Amino acid sequence: MNPRRQGRILGMQALCQLDVQGEPAAAEIDLFLTEAEASAEARTYARRLVSAIRGKETEYDALIRSISEHWDVQRMPLVDRNIIRVGICELHEHPDVPAAVAINEAVEIAKEFGSADSGAFVNGVLDAVRSRGQSSSTG
pTM of the model: 0.91
- 10-35 per-position pLDDT tens digit: 999 999 999 898 876 777 888 888 88
Domain 3-138 has CATH 1.10.940.10: yes
- 20-77 per-position pLDDT tens digit: 988 767 778 888 888 899 999 999 999 999 999 998 999 999 999 999 877 778 888 9
- Whether 89 and 52 have beta carbons less than 8 Å apart is answered as yes
| Domain-wise residue ranges, the chain | 3-138
Q: Which amino acid is at 6?
A: Q
